[in-house]
Amino acid sequence: MKIYKLEQDIVNGYDTYDSCVVIAESEEDARKIHPSEYITHIKEGKWMGTYSHGGEYETENNEHSTWVHFEDINKIVVTCLGTAEEGIKRGVVIASFHAG
């Protein structure tokens, strides 16, 4: 597993993420990690969340986005920072969120 920094300047303003550090298998895998802990998976080209009682929901629409839309993940700037220690799980280490 590698450590990657993800950055974007497409979605800006209040209640948005501008960057995060993630653990992932590859650069391609890193792009598929959303900085929000509430975004749990991808389905049919959309970021999705999972209800605590089961079931799933689409997390963002065209009117409100906190991060790059899934179809634009190739626009995320990805920098490899190094190799993660063995046993570290895939996911977000830290994220930069601009609360409004």
Q: What is the four-CA torsion angle of 82, 85, 87, 92, rounded to 10 degrees?
A: -40
How crowded is the C-beta side of 9, counted as CA atoms within 13 Å?
A: 1
Q: What is the pLDDT of residue 63?
A: 57
Per-domain boundaries in the chain: 2-98
Report strand pairing: 77-83 vs 41-43.
unpaired
pLDDT one-digit tens code per residue, 11-31 = 998 999 999 999 999 999 999
- Does residue 96 have a pLDDT over 90? yes
pTM: 0.91
Q: What is the pLDDT of residue 64?
A: 66
Q: What is the pLDDT of residue 27?
A: 98
Average pLDDT (43-63) is: 82
